[in-house]
Structure 1
Amino acid sequence: MKRSLKLKYEEKHREALEKEEELVEGFNMADQRRQMMKYWVMAESSCPQFLIARSSVCAASSMITFFFVIMYTLVHVIHGIIKSVPGKTPYGVYTKRIIEIQFYGAGIAVILAMLRWFVTVSFRCSSTNTWMIESYWIQTLNDCRNSSTGIKIGPNKWGKGLLDAKWSVLTFCIGVQCFIVLASKTLIFFSSFMVAPFVFCFSQINKFARRHHDASSGGDDVDPNLNSYILLLDGEVDLLTSFVKSMCREADGMIQIGREKKPSNLINLLHKSVYSNSSQITSLVSHDCWTLQVVTLTSIAVALPNISQHQRKQLLRSVSEGLPLAKVVEKTLDTNAKLKSIRNAASSTWVELLVYSKWVQIDLTSGFLWCRNCEQVLQELSDKAEEIVMGWKSESLDSNMGNPLNFPARVVAANSMYRICQTILLSYGEVESCEDMWERLCVMIADVFSACLTNLPYAITKMCHQSCIEKREKTVRQAFLLLGKTEQVLANIQQHQRPCIDHEDEASTMSCVNDLAITVGC
Structure 2
Amino acid sequence: MTTVRGETECPYNETRYSEPMPWIGLYVAAASIACVLAMKGDIISGFHNRKLWIPCRFFSLNATSLILISIATKLPVDLNTPMPRIQDQFTKLSGTVLICTTMANFMPSLGTMEDSQVILNVVPLGILVITIIVNVCIEMVTRVIFAFRLEHITILFFMIIMLLIFCSSALVVSTTKQLLRQQYELKYQQASDDMAEISTVIMLRNDVRKCWMMAHCCSPQHVLSRSAMCTASGAFCLLGALVLTLAFTRSFWMSECSNDESDYKWSTFFVSLCQLSAVWVATVAPAWRWFNVVNSKCLEIKSWDEFKGEFKVESYWIQRLKEWKDRPLTFEIGNRRYRKIVHGSRNLVLNVCLCLQIAIVLTSKSVRLVSILSVNLLKKTLFCFPCIILPRLFKTCKSVSNDEMRSSSGTEIDLRDFVLHLEGEEKLVQLIMKQGYVDTEKWICRGRKNRLMHLTDLLKKCTISEGFKGVGEFDSDRVSSVGSQEPPPNCWALTLVTLTSIAIAIPCIGQDLMESLILGVNEGLRYVRLVEKKLDLNGPVNMIDAADTVWLGIDLYHRWLDVDLAALAGEDNDAKKIIEHLAEIGKNCILEFEKSTATVGINTKSTLKWTAKALAGNSLYRICQTILEDYENKFERVEELLKWLCITISDILGACLTNLPRVISMECFSSAIEAKEDSIRKAASLLGEAENILDTLGHQAIQDLGIYQFAYIDDWRASKLKNKKPLRFPSATSNDDMSRATLGEVRLSIEC
Deviation at 1:167, TM superposition (A): 4.9
Aligned AA (2:647):
V
The yes-or-no answer on 1:300 pairing with 2:473 is no
Deviation at 1:95, TM superposition (A): 5.2
Q: Which residue in the other structure is 1:342 paired with?
A: 543
Distance, in Å, in 1 between the alignment partners of 2:587 and 2:688 is: 43
The yes-or-no answer on 1:50 pairing with 2:231 is no
Kept in 2, the 8 Å contact 1:501–1:508? The answer is no
RMSD value, Cα: 3.9
Distance, in Å, in 1 between the alignment partners of 2:290 and 2:212 is: 25
User: Does the C-alpha gap of structure 1 residues 418 and 178 become closer, same or farther in structure 2, counting only changes over 3 Å?
Assistant: farther
Kept in 2, the 8 Å contact 1:280–1:423? The answer is no
The yes-or-no answer on 1:256 pairing with 2:438 is no
Matches within 5 A, 1:374-413: 374-397=575-598, 398=601, 400-413=603-616
Q: Which residue in the other structure is 2:629 paired with?
A: 426
Q: Which residue in the other structure is 1:514 paired with?
A: none
Return 33-42 or 112-121, whichever deviates more: 112-121
Matches within 5 A, 1:342-491: 342-367=543-568, 369-397=570-598, 398=601, 400-429=603-632, 432-491=636-695
Q: Which residue in the other structure is 1:513 paired with?
A: none
Q: Which residue in the other structure is 2:529 paired with?
A: 327
Distance, in Å, in 2 between the alignment partners of 1:165 and 1:268 is: 78
Deviation at 1:459, TM superposition (A): 1.2
Q: Which residue in the other structure is 2:192 paired with?
A: 17
Deviation at 1:361, TM superposition (A): 2.5
Distance, in Å, in 2 between the alignment partners of 1:35 and 1:337 is: 27
Structure 1: runs of 5+ lacking an equivalent: 511-522
User: Does the C-alpha gap of structure 1 residues 411 and 123 become closer, same or farther in structure 2, counting only changes over 3 Å?
Assistant: same
Q: Which residue in the other structure is 1:496 paired with?
A: 701
Kept in 2, the 8 Å contact 1:502–1:508? The answer is no
Aligned AA (1:361):
D
Deviations 1:163-208 (A, max 9, x none): 869957983766655554343233323443323334676699738x
Deviation at 1:22, TM superposition (A): 4.0
Distance, in Å, in 2 between the alignment partners of 1:363 and 1:111 is: 58
The yes-or-no answer on 1:225 pairing with 2:414 is yes
User: Does the C-alpha gap of structure 1 residues 40 and 120 become closer, same or farther in structure 2, counting only changes over 3 Å?
Assistant: same
Deviation at 1:422, TM superposition (A): 1.7
User: Does the C-alpha gap of structure 1 residues 277 and 237 become closer, same or farther in structure 2, counting only changes over 3 Å?
Assistant: closer
Kept in 2, the 8 Å contact 1:133–1:178? The answer is no
Q: Which residue in the other structure is 1:3 paired with?
A: 178
**Counterpart selection for 1:187 from 363, 367, 378:** 367
User: Does the C-alpha gap of structure 1 residues 160 and 390 become closer, same or farther in structure 2, counting only changes over 3 Å?
Assistant: farther
Q: Which residue in the other structure is 1:120 paired with?
A: 293
Deviation at 1:442, TM superposition (A): 0.7
Return 176-185 or 379-388, whichever deviates more: 176-185
Distance, in Å, in 2 between the alignment partners of 1:376 and 1:169 is: 92
Deviations 1:398-449 (A, max 9, x none): 5642122332222222222222112222242266333322221111000001
Aligned AA (2:610):
F
Deviations 1:373-408 (A, max 9, x none): 221122122222122223322332456421223322
Aligned AA (1:392):
F
Deviation at 1:2, TM superposition (A): 2.5
Kept in 1, the 8 Å contact 2:474–2:648? The answer is no
Distance, in Å, in 2 between the alignment partners of 1:50 and 1:349 is: 44
User: Does the C-alpha gap of structure 1 residues 322 and 144 become closer, same or farther in structure 2, counting only changes over 3 Å?
Assistant: farther
Aligned AA (1:349):
V
SS of alignment partner, residue 401 of structure 1: coil
SS of alignment partner, residue 365 of structure 1: helix
Kept in 2, the 8 Å contact 1:304–1:438? The answer is yes
User: Does the C-alpha gap of structure 1 residues 3 and 123 become closer, same or farther in structure 2, counting only changes over 3 Å?
Assistant: farther
Aligned residues: 499
Distance, in Å, in 2 between the alignment partners of 1:112 and 1:303 is: 58
Matches within 5 A, 1:55-74: 55-74=227-246
Q: Which residue in the other structure is 1:265 paired with?
A: 454
Return 115-124 or 39-48, whichever deviates more: 115-124
Distance, in Å, in 1 between the alignment partners of 2:321 and 2:530 is: 39
Distance, in Å, in 1 between the alignment partners of 2:677 and 2:211 is: 9
Aligned AA (1:409):
A
User: Does the C-alpha gap of structure 1 residues 145 and 285 become closer, same or farther in structure 2, counting only changes over 3 Å?
Assistant: farther
SS of alignment partner, residue 82 of structure 1: coil
TM-score, normalization by structure 2: 0.59
User: Does the C-alpha gap of structure 1 residues 103 and 355 become closer, same or farther in structure 2, counting only changes over 3 Å?
Assistant: same
Kept in 1, the 8 Å contact 2:470–2:652? The answer is no
Aligned AA (1:281):
V
Distance, in Å, in 1 between the alignment partners of 2:710 and 2:361 is: 51
Deviations 1:127-151 (A, max 9, x none): 74634243366538946993877x7
Distance, in Å, in 2 between the alignment partners of 1:86 and 1:22 is: 80
Matches within 5 A, 1:162-181: 167=346, 171=350, 177-181=357-361
Identity of aligned residues (%): 26
Distance, in Å, in 2 between the alignment partners of 1:47 and 1:491 is: 34
Distance, in Å, in 2 between the alignment partners of 1:313 and 1:52 is: 52
Distance, in Å, in 2 between the alignment partners of 1:199 and 1:20 is: 44
User: Does the C-alpha gap of structure 1 residues 218 and 46 become closer, same or farther in structure 2, counting only changes over 3 Å?
Assistant: closer
Return 349-358 or 392-401, whichever deviates more: 392-401
Aligned AA (1:377):
I
User: Does the C-alpha gap of structure 1 residues 268 and 402 become closer, same or farther in structure 2, counting only changes over 3 Å?
Assistant: same
Deviation at 1:508, TM superposition (A): 6.1
Aligned AA (2:261):
P
Deviation at 1:219, TM superposition (A): 10
Aligned AA (1:421):
C
Kept in 2, the 8 Å contact 1:357–1:363? The answer is yes
Q: Which residue in the other structure is 1:519 paired with?
A: none
Aligned AA (1:320):
N
User: Does the C-alpha gap of structure 1 residues 178 and 86 become closer, same or farther in structure 2, counting only changes over 3 Å?
Assistant: closer
Distance, in Å, in 2 between the alignment partners of 1:333 and 1:140 is: 46
User: Does the C-alpha gap of structure 1 residues 259 and 166 become closer, same or farther in structure 2, counting only changes over 3 Å?
Assistant: farther
Distance, in Å, in 1 between the alignment partners of 2:341 and 2:639 is: 86
Aligned AA (1:282):
G
User: Does the C-alpha gap of structure 1 residues 400 and 283 become closer, same or farther in structure 2, counting only changes over 3 Å?
Assistant: farther
SS of alignment partner, residue 521 of structure 2: helix
SS of alignment partner, residue 8 of structure 1: helix
Deviation at 1:77, TM superposition (A): 3.1
Return 486-495 or 85-94, whichever deviates more: 85-94
Deviation at 1:358, TM superposition (A): 2.3
Aligned AA (1:88):
N
Deviations 1:226-255 (A, max 9, x none): 110011123321435354234323322222
Q: Which residue in the other structure is 1:517 paired with?
A: none
The yes-or-no answer on 1:36 pairing with 2:36 is no
Aligned AA (1:379):
E
Deviation at 1:104, TM superposition (A): 3.9
